Chain A
């Protein structure tokens, strides 16, 4: 059987070398590239076309989240974040940008081996330590009272509102008319049961629909 091709991205040289060594001992895998930062990662991944990328989040320069955002949707490789970070921004950022897995670095070699095989088979993987955060957000979304969750376009408008943009600015950003923006805003406020735009943004942030500060 053809081995699964891997690229390992981590700025900690010793950890990366150890990890590459462990993966090289597993017959299912072949490590076809390594990178120590985001820029190098993009170049190596585009060049080697691996099946799976193991990607650190916190790196100098371009971080792991930016790498995921730039790779998607063009590169078809699976991406597993391998990090010490349990921060909401990193976890939900990675999921939003299209990562296939989010594993903490306390994972054991055999769990990592299984996770890599799972993502290749079209599944997603999460460390048990972060599933609660994801479930919390999903629970918040369900508490909308059975009403429809916001549409993708409504989420875009809401994100613009959170950035303090005016109706006119949002219309320009999303290439829609101001009236359409107002309609979306009205629907958002109805769905979130918010009295005004600020309350809609605040409620959406609490429910995890958007992240403030981005």
Chain B
């Protein structure tokens, strides 16, 4: 049986082959005063992410969309068009993407992460 704190824990998976970005983002999330967010893993490719999704069951996936080693085609095919209900945030310098919400990494602040988490439905963690 899960404890209440575990029930509301937000499980975040980061997809980036740049350790400074991935580890830096994890540190930012870990250092939040709220303890409801845990970074469950950092993976370097979409295929690794697919394995991690099965094993680790993340609630939110943050993708370094400008990372050359992260195939955009694969991101779209497996994350966006796939059958699973996944909450994805793509971070990019590019602004023009038709149907996907992309955050401009130049202006993105840690407070925005709080917004994502605040927007998160309370039952998201248990019903994905």
Chain B positions within 8 Å of A, measured between CB atoms, are: 17-21, 23-25, 27-28, 31, 66, 91, 105-110
| Chain A residue, CB-CB nearest to B105 | A12
Q: In whole angstroms, what is the CA distance A106 to B105 when docked?
A: 16
Question: In the complex the two chains form, is B20's CB within 8 Å of A112's CB?
Answer: yes
| Chain B residue, CB-CB nearest to A108 | B19
Q: Known: A11-B106, A12-B105. Contact between A19 and B28, CB under 8 A?
A: no
Q: Kindly provide the distance from the CB of B124 to the nearest chain A CB, expressed in whole angstroms.
A: 22
Q: In whole angstroms, what is the CA distance A164 to B15 when docked?
A: 48
| Chain A residue, CB-CB nearest to B109 | A13
Q: List 19 A-B contacts (CB under 8 A).
A: A12-B108, A13-B108, A14-B25, A14-B109, A15-B21, A15-B24, A15-B105, A17-B24, A17-B28, A18-B24, A18-B27, A22-B23, A105-B18, A105-B20, A106-B18, A107-B19, A108-B19, A109-B20, A109-B23
Q: Known: A13-B108, A14-B110. Contact between A106 and B27, CB under 8 A?
A: no
Interface residues on A, range: 10 to 19
Q: In the complex, which residues of chain A have a beta carbon less than 8 angstroms from the beta carbon of B23? A: 18, 22, 109
Q: Known: A18-B28, A21-B31. Contact between A105 and B21, CB under 8 A?
A: yes
Q: In the complex, which residues of chain A have a beta carbon less than 8 angstroms from the beta carbon of B66? A: 84
Question: In the complex the two chains form, is A22's CB within 8 Å of B24's CB?
Answer: yes
Q: In whole angstroms, what is the CA distance A107 to B17 when docked?
A: 10
Q: In whole angstroms, what is the CA distance A167 to B10 when docked?
A: 69
Question: In the complex the two chains form, is B106's CB within 8 Å of A13's CB?
Answer: yes
Q: Kindly provide the distance from the CB of A150 to the nearest chain B CB, expressed in whole angstroms.
A: 36
